[in-house]
Structure 1
Amino acid sequence: MSSLHVMAKPRVNRGFLWRVSLIAGLGGILYGFDVGIIAAALVFVRSTFALSTQMQELVVSVVPMGTMAGAILGGIVSDRLGRRSTLLWSGAIFIFGSVLAPASPNVATLIVARLLLGVAIGFTSVTAPVYVSELAPPQSRGKLIGFYQFALTLGIVLANVVGYWLAGQHAWRLMFGLGALPAVVFFFLVLTVPESPRWLYAQGRVVEAEKVLLSYTDEAGAEELLADIEVASRTKVDRRWSVLWTPAVRRGLLIAVGFVVLQQFTGINAVIYYGPQIFALAGITSNENAIFAALLVSVMNMLATIIALFLVDRLGRKPLLYAGLSGMMASLFVLAYSFQHAAALGHSLGLVATGCLVVYITCCAASMGPIAWILVSEVFPLRVRGRGAAAATLGYGISNTLVSLTFLSVLQRVGTAMTFAMFGLCCVVTLAFVRWVVPETKGMELESISAAPVEMRP
C-alpha cells in the first residue's frame, strides 16, 4: 500500500461496521431468547413433566452448563478456524437445538436440547464480541461491541413477549420452537460477512486481511490499522491454555473472568430465569400477570442498554459501573427489606418488588451488562484473544450455573429477604473490584490496552 495518504484522516465505512455488528448481534438475540424463554416456559414445563424443585433448577441451569462446554470448544475453533466459521457453527447448533426442544417427548430430551443451545451460546459469546472488536475503530468500539448486549436484551424481551402471548394456551413447545426462526436468519447472514482481518493476519494471510480492511476504510486507515496489527502479531498465536497464566496475560484474565463471575453473583440471571417465580413470591399469583411483570422488567433491561451504548464511549466504562452498581445495590437491599416486612406491606409488596426489580435491571443494563463483554474483548492480546474470551465465558458459565442451579433451593433454605441481601452484598464487592482492578479502556487502541503497564491503566 502507498503511504501517500498517511496524514489524511482515515475514512471509515460505518455502514459496513454496523452491518457486521447487527449480524453478530443476532447471535445475542438468540442468546437472549434461549435464556429468557425458560422464565415463561418453565411455569408450564414443570406441570407437564411434574418436575421437582431440583429438576426445575436442572432444566434452567443446563444452558449455562452447555455454555461452559461451548466456551472451551468455541475458543479453540475461533483461534484455529476463524471468527466467522465459529459463528456459522453456532448458528447451525442453534437451529438444531431450537427444533429439538419443542419436539421433546420427555424432560431428558428437553435437557439435551437446552444443553445444545448452551453450547451454541458459548460459541457466540466467545466469538461475537471479539469479532466486532477486531473490526471496530477505538472511538466507537465500546458502542459496537455493546450492541451485542443490546441484542441479548432484545432477545429476552422477545422471549417474554412470546411467553406472555402463549401463556394462556400453555403452549411451551411453541415458545421454544419460535427460536428456530432467528437462528436460520443468523446462519445465512453470517455467510455474507468477511473474516476478521486481525485473525487473517495472524494466520499469515496478509493480502486477505488488507482486502477486508479496505472494504470499510480508506487506504490511509487500512495502512494504519495494518501497522498496528503487525506490531501486535509479531508473537504468533499461542494455542496453549497455560499461556493465560503468563505475566503478560494474567492481569487481563483476572479482569475478564473476575468481572463476569461477579456479574452473576449480583443475581442478574437469577432474576431473568426465575422472574415469574419471584413475582409469585411477592403475591402476584396469576401466571399471566407474573409473566407480564417479567416482561416489564425485560423491556427496561433493553431500554437501559440503549443508554449504555451511547454513554460507554463518552463517559467511559468505570463511571457507568460506579453509578450502575450503586443503583443495583440500593434496589436489592430495599427489595430484601420489603420481603422481610412482607406482612406489613400486604398487597403492595407486589408493586414494591416490581419497582425494585425494574430499578435493579435498569442499573445493571446500563452498566455491568454491556461492559462485561466489552472488557472481555478488550483486555487480551491478539495472540490469545480467542482463548481469553473462552476463559471468561467459562467463568461466566460456571458462576451462572452455580447461581441458577441453587437459586430456588437457597430461597427455600434462607428465605427470600436473605437471598436478595446476599446479592446486594455481592454488589458491594463488585464496586471494590471495579475501583481497584478494572482499568478504564475508553478510546484506547485495542492493541495498546493489554500492552500498557499497570501504572498507566486508570
Structure 2
Amino acid sequence: MSGGGSIANDGEAAAAGGGGGRGEVTFTVVMSCLTAGAGGLLLGYDIGVTGGLTQMESFLQAFFPEVLRKMSSAKQDAYCIFDSQVLNAFVSSFYLSTMVASLVAGHLTKTLGRRNSLLIAGVLFFAGTLLNLAAVNISMLIIGRILLGVAVGFSSLAAPVYLAEISPARWRGAFTSSIGLFANFGFLMADMINYRATTMARWGWRLSLGAGIVPALIVIVGAASIPDTPNSLALRGRLDEARDSLRRIRGAGVAAADVDAELKDIVRAAEEDRRYESGALRRLLRREYRPHLVMAVLISVFYEMTGGVVVGIFTPLLFYTVGFTSQKAILGSIITDVVSISSVAVAAVVVDRRGRRTLFMVGGAVLILCQVAMAWIFGAELSTDGGRAMPRGYAVAVVALVCMYAAGLCVSWIPLSSVVTSEIFPLEVRSAALGLGGAISSALTFMQSQSFLEMLCSFKYGAFAYYAGWLVMMTAFVAAFLPETKGVPIESMGAVWAQHWYWKALCQAGTGQAGRWAGMMRWESGFAARVHAVRRWPSNLHHDGHAFVSTLSFDLSVGAEPTINPRSPHPPPDDRLIPLNYYL
C-alpha cells in the first residue's frame, strides 16, 4: 500500500466541522474567505518591513548606530555586519509574543468566535503600529513589536480555522492557501514602502513602520463585515445566529429546510466538540493519536527549519552581504516577493488537483538544490572570513537562487503547512494539536530570529548547509509518512490514517475517529473479499435532496491495493458508520 491513501467523495462537501455544505461557492463564501485570508497580511507586512528596516540608514542611525558603523567599515567581516544582540531583540520580540499569544488564542478563538478573534488581531496590530510610529527609544519599539506579535498570534490561529470551517471541501486547499498569498502581498507591500523610505534621510523609518496601519484597517473593516462561521456560533449555543449565518453563506436560493438540515449536522458536531472540550492534550498523548501528535510536532518543526522565515526576515540583509547597496538589496527583495506571489497563486490552483504530497516533494527538491548552491557560492566567493567582495556575477546568482528558493517554498511548505494542519486532526484532539503546533512554531521562529545573524557570523556558509540537511530530512519524512488528504471531508479524515501503510497499526488500537475507521477495515491475511467502508452524508448536501454515500472499496487479498468506488449502489439505513457486513 502506498504512503498516501485517498478517499473519493461525491459532491465533495465538507461535513460537520469542515464547512462547505453543498460545496457551492457563493459571493459570501468568497468574500469571507478572502477577508480571513487577509489575516496573512499582518504577518507578511511585519516580516517584510523588519528586513528592510534592519539595514535602513535612518533607522540604524536613530536606534542602532553601532551597526551603522560596522556597515561603513572597510575591514568588517561581511558575515558579521548585522550581528547585534539588541538588533536581534528588536526582531525576535515579535515572535516571542506570538508564541505566548498562541497558547491562549485557541481558547479565546473558541469562546469569542473566529470572526471576533480576527477583529481583535486587527485592533492590536493597529495599536502596535501607532506605538512604533511614535517611538523615540528602543523600549517603545519593542513594546509595539509585542503588540504586533500578539495580533499575529490571534490571526494565525483564527484565520485557518475560519477558512477550514467555511470553505467547500473541494476548494478547501485553495481557500486556505490564500493566507500564504496574502502574506506574500504583505511582503511586497512592505518592501515597496521600504524601497521609497530608504531614500528619506531622517524619517523614512517612520513611514515604513506607520504604513502597517493599512493592513490593520483591511482586517478590521473586513472582519466587521463578514459573518462568523455557523460552526463557531453553534459551539457557543447561538443557534439563531448560526442559522442566519448559514443562510447568508448558502445564498438566497437555498430552501429553509435544507438550511435547517445542515444546521442540525453542525449542532451535532458542536455537541461532539463539547464532549471533547477538556483533556484534549492528554488525549493527544494516547497511542491511537500518535500519528496526529507526530504531525502536530514535526510539521511545525519542519516548516520552521526550511529557513523560510529566516530568509523572509533577512533577505535584504543577505543581498547587502553579497555586495548590493541598501536600495538595490530591497529591490532584490521586491523581485523575490513577485516570484513568491506567483508561486503561491500556482499552488492555490494546483493543490486540490495534484494533491499535497506532490507539491511537498517538488518544493523539497527545489529547496535542497538552492541551499546547496548558496552554500557553495558563499564558501567559494566570500570564503570563511568574509573579507573579500563577491563578484557581481555570483551576487546576481545569489539573487536568482533566493528567487528559486522562494518559489519552491511558496508551492510547498508555506501554503501547505496551514492547509494540512487545518484539516488532518480529528475533532477530539484538533484544538490541542493546533495549539501545540502553533506554540512550537512560534518558539522556533523566536529562536531563529534571535540567533540567525549570530549563526551566520559563526557558521559562515555552513549556515546554508545546515538548512539543506534539514530539508533532506523533512522531504524524506513527507514521502514516507504524510498521507494524501486531497478532497477528503474533514470528518472522514480518520480513514486516511486507517489505510496508511505505517499509521494504520496505531489507529487500529484506538477508539477515536481513526480507530473507528480502522476497525472497519481490518482483514485476515489471504481472505479475498470486497469490503466497503461507508458513511452516509446529510441529505441536504445533494442538490436533489437525496442522500449520497462515499465509499472505500478494498480487495482484501494479500498484497492488494485499495480501489475507489465513487458511490454505493444504495444508501445505508441511517447516518451512522455502517458495519461491514451490511454490504457483504
- TM norm structure 1: 0.92
Is residue 37 of structure 1 aligned with residue 49 of structure 2? yes
Which residue of the other structure, out of 281, 285, 295, is the alignment partner of 2:334?
295
- The answer for the alignment partner of 1:23 in structure 2 is 35
- The answer for the alignment partner of 1:172 in structure 2 is 205
Question: Would the alpha carbon gap of residues 222 and 54 (structure 1) be closer, same or farther in structure 2, given more than 3 Å must change?
Answer: farther
- The answer for the alignment partner of 2:361 in structure 1 is 322
- The answer for the alignment partner of 2:299 in structure 1 is 259
Is residue 455 of structure 1 aligned with residue 494 of structure 2? no
Report which stretch shifted further, 381-390 or 364-373.
381-390
The 5 A counterparts of 1:302-313 are 302-313=341-352
- Report if the CA contact (8 A) 1:381-1:447 is conserved: yes
- Report if the CA contact (8 A) 2:41-2:182 is conserved: yes
The letter of the residue matching 1:113 is: G
- Report if the CA contact (8 A) 2:230-2:266 is conserved: no
Q: 1:405: Cα distance to partner?
A: 0.9
Taking every aligned residue pair, what percent have the same amino acid on both sides? 27
- The answer for the alignment partner of 1:12 in structure 2 is 24
Task: Give structure 2 stretches of 5+ with no counterpart.
Answer: 1-20, 68-83, 384-389, 502-584
Is residue 107 of structure 1 aligned with residue 138 of structure 2? yes
Equivalenced residues, count:
447
Is residue 124 of structure 1 aligned with residue 168 of structure 2? no
- Counterparts of 2:36 and 2:221 in 1: how far apart (Å)? 12
The letter of the residue matching 1:136 is: S
- Counterparts of 1:11 and 1:256 in 2: how far apart (Å)? 28
Which residue of the other structure, out of 265, 268, 272, is the alignment partner of 1:230?
268
Query: Residues 140-180 of structure 1, C-alpha deviation per residue, up to 9 Å, x if partnerless?
Result: 00111111110011101111111111111151111011101
Question: Would the alpha carbon gap of residues 144 and 435 (structure 1) be closer, same or farther in structure 2, given more than 3 Å must change?
Answer: same
Report which stretch shifted further, 313-322 or 296-305.
296-305
- The answer for the alignment partner of 2:308 in structure 1 is 268
CA RMSD of aligned residues (A): 2.2
Q: 1:258: Cα distance to partner?
A: 1.4
Report which stretch shifted further, 69-78 or 336-345.
336-345
Query: Residues 206-227 of structure 1, C-alpha deviation per residue, up to 9 Å, x if partnerless?
Result: 4433332222223447735753
- Counterparts of 1:318 and 1:453 in 2: how far apart (Å)? 13
Query: Residues 61-91 of structure 1, C-alpha deviation per residue, up to 9 Å, x if partnerless?
Result: 1111111012112111012221112111111
Query: Residues 415-458 of structure 1, C-alpha deviation per residue, up to 9 Å, x if partnerless?
Result: 1x210111111110110221233221110101222x33623248
Is residue 205 of structure 1 aligned with residue 219 of structure 2? no
Query: Residues 219-250 of structure 1, C-alpha deviation per residue, up to 9 Å, x if partnerless?
Result: 44773575366257425241444344344554
Query: Residues 160-208 of structure 1, C-alpha deviation per residue, up to 9 Å, x if partnerless?
Result: 1111111111511110111012212321221111222122233333443
SS at match of 1:310: helix
Q: 1:128: Cα distance to partner?
A: 0.3
Report which stretch shifted further, 271-280 or 219-228.
219-228
Question: Would the alpha carbon gap of residues 317 and 435 (structure 1) be closer, same or farther in structure 2, given more than 3 Å must change?
Answer: same
- Report if the CA contact (8 A) 1:335-1:353 is conserved: yes
- Report if the CA contact (8 A) 1:36-1:160 is conserved: yes
Is residue 397 of structure 1 aligned with residue 430 of structure 2? no
- Counterparts of 2:376 and 2:245 in 1: how far apart (Å)? 55
Q: 1:261: Cα distance to partner?
A: 1.8
Question: Would the alpha carbon gap of residues 110 and 243 (structure 1) be closer, same or farther in structure 2, given more than 3 Å must change?
Answer: farther
The letter of the residue matching 2:245 is: V
- Counterparts of 1:179 and 1:455 in 2: how far apart (Å)? 46
SS at match of 1:195: coil
Is residue 428 of structure 1 aligned with residue 472 of structure 2? yes
Report which stretch shifted further, 52-61 or 146-155.
52-61
The 5 A counterparts of 1:75-94 are 75-94=106-125
Q: 1:99: Cα distance to partner?
A: 0.5
Structure whose CA Rg is larger: 2
Which residue of the other structure, out of 47, 60, 67, is the alignment partner of 2:98?
67
Query: Residues 40-68 of structure 1, C-alpha deviation per residue, up to 9 Å, x if partnerless?
Result: 11113333212561111111111111110
Q: Name whichever structure is richer in helix by fraction.
A: 1
- Counterparts of 2:273 and 2:362 in 1: how far apart (Å)? 39
Q: 1:303: Cα distance to partner?
A: 1.1
- Counterparts of 2:197 and 2:89 in 1: how far apart (Å)? 23
- Counterparts of 1:212 and 1:174 in 2: how far apart (Å)? 39
- Counterparts of 2:500 and 2:49 in 1: how far apart (Å)? 40
- The answer for the alignment partner of 2:481 in structure 1 is 437
